[in-house]
Chains A and B, each alone.
Chain A
């Protein structure tokens, strides 16, 4: 375990250093634009997996949390011109509070009722923002980026680094949860909630914890998105596509281990970027849907499940 932790943090530092260095050597801005989106999806699907994977509560509210993150940042910038770090911190707090509220409302429901309720939350929040005049309403709102500070050459490069920090943070949290009593409790209630409750697992408290952490991370991941696009509108910030993409990434990667959502997000994120550039964004959604259905039917444990199975059959032979 100890050696694992050293390897993990070493890799995390290496990853951050690579991002910093690439800001000095890579000239083409496109890589940063594409990289940002992929990193953002890693954070979202790792965060999703804390509730959706470990506890088995299929949350379709990713876009609600993401959109609230975007709009928290928009609000802070237009009201007091807050710096990026403050935007993200406040978004995380708002996300935690929202996760608590959503959890109170929905976590007593099970299975599909929970899923439908989270879609409902998304649409209700979206409609509220759409009718919020000072946040631009349905037409959306434009915001200005402040000048960038060294060592970065452009604002997007800095956003990529910030999102990379969030990736490390969310993966570390997810990894901690998985190895701690919280993760074991969540897995117990995922397998059989009644049995877990009867043996003394505080199921509701664990689910609430997972929902709060997951919500805070999703909102934090959304916050830099306002500066990334320099523009926000409710229809795209709260787009249900985020929910389904993130769910697909987590399920395709596999939810039994924290690495699953990371693999899924990288794989699907890269595929999506390639498809959007080379063919069209519609085909990209189609591929997403087809892959989701194929994996759910054919490889229920996701990619990491396939690897484990492979290793197991090797052991037998």
Chain B
């Protein structure tokens, strides 16, 4: 029943899927991994971005990837505002920030979910583009073109963000805040503004990530619940804030999901990422390439 061919195909699909998972998780890797913000609304923001892409594609016939780029500035501003609100209400007051911060972001996620249901309905939505629905034959395997597109764009996005964080001035400042906020303050920089900027970036990359999400599969308003598991699994497995780790962890998750799917069937799919996450938290909480 289980042959080498099948395994090879699962690994190839898993790698493609994994890169896509890296793209949807990389923002969380910045906001939660580097900034320690309990951003449980990240998947809800992601699905919201997908719906914005759907709106532009369905109404104005704009290519989904282009639409993803178009909404990026809006998401950036949205991220800036969200962090400002979070900072003013929780981080600055200090006490109990963790408990109520999580509840706050969960509330936001719920509100987004319901607003999407009220406006778009509970049906699945998908986009149309020339590369959706076709597939390539590579060495006897059928690989859907939409997955190839997602793979390429996701790889580019992940690379771009890790270069930004390691090469540019602002990127290094963000990592400096993550390492030692007090030292940054002593150097005369304002850590809150750096963190706000970083949170903006983390939300902005969801534009393209949301486009990829709706390219890879149809989207419905409650899809964010499945992606809580996937994104947090990737970010925790990676080791908080490691960009290379994010890519590796996402590929591991992609391969694991594809193999379980082919061996046991789709009904086990939702549990894979969560089970993997539980396992990592229990065995190696610092992740593969952890910073602490």
- Chain A residues engaging chain B, CB cutoff 8 angstroms: 52, 56, 58, 60, 105-106, 109-113, 115-117, 119-121, 123-124, 126-128, 130-131, 138, 240, 244, 247-248, 251, 282-283, 285-286, 288-290, 292-293, 296-297, 300
Contacts and interface: CB of A to CB of B under 8 A. Distances in A.
Contacts of A300: 93, 96, 100
Given A117-B278, A120-B277, A128-B271, A289 B104 contact: no
Nearest to B98: A111
A293 B111 contact: yes
Contact of A247 (B98, B103, B277): B103
B106 interface: yes
B260 to A, nearest CB: 11
B232 interface: yes
B281 to A, nearest CB: 5
Contacts of A290: 107, 111
The residue in B32, B38, B274 that gathers the most chain A C-beta atoms within 10 A of its C-beta is B274
Interface in B24-66: 32, 38, 40
B110 A124 contact: no
Nearest to A137: B267
A115 B117 CA distance: 25
A9 to B, nearest CB: 32
A112 B102 contact: yes
Nearest to A130: B267
Contact of B278 (A121, A240, A288): A121
21 contacts: A115-B38, A115-B40, A116-B228, A116-B232, A117-B278, A120-B229, A120-B277, A123-B271, A127-B268, A251-B100, A251-B103, A283-B114, A285-B113, A286-B115, A289-B108, A289-B114, A292-B106, A292-B110, A293-B104, A296-B107, A300-B96
Contacts of A131: 267-268
Contacts of A251: 100, 103
A57 B142 CA distance: 47
Nearest to B104: A296
B232 A138 contact: no
A286 B229 CA distance: 23
B96 A56 contact: yes
Contact of B38 (A105, A112, A123): A112
Contacts of B281: 106, 109, 113, 116-117, 120
A296 B270 contact: no
B89 interface: yes
Interface residues of B, number: 40
A115 B278 contact: no
B275 interface: yes
Contacts of B282: 105
Given A127-B270, A288-B110, A119 B228 contact: yes
B225 interface: yes
Contacts of B139: none
Nearest to A118: B278
A124 B103 contact: no
B118 interface: yes
A123 B274 contact: yes
Contacts of B38: 111-112, 115
Given A119-B274, A127-B267, A286-B118, A244 B106 contact: yes
Interface string B273-291: 0110110011001000000
B122 to A, nearest CB: 9
Contacts of A283: 114, 118
Given A60-B106, A288-B110, 19 more contacts: A56-B98, A112-B40, A113-B236, A115-B38, A116-B40, A116-B228, A116-B281, A117-B278, A124-B278, A127-B270, A247-B106, A248-B107, A251-B100, A251-B103, A282-B118, A283-B114, A289-B107, A292-B107, A293-B108
B187 interface: no
9 A-B pairs closest in CB distance: A127-B271, A289-B110, A292-B107, A120-B274, A293-B107, A289-B111, A111-B98, A112-B38, A286-B114
A79 B85 CA distance: 53
Contacts of B85: 297
B4 interface: no
B99 interface: yes
B111 A286 contact: yes
A64 B227 CA distance: 18
Contacts of B96: 56, 300
Given A282-B117, A290-B111, A124 B102 contact: no
A117 B40 CA distance: 12
A110 B229 CA distance: 18
A109 B277 CA distance: 13
A274 to B, nearest CB: 17
A52 B96 CA distance: 12
B229 A123 contact: yes
Given A248-B107, A286-B115, A112 B98 contact: yes
Contacts of A110: 98
Contacts of A52: 99
A121 to B, nearest CB: 7
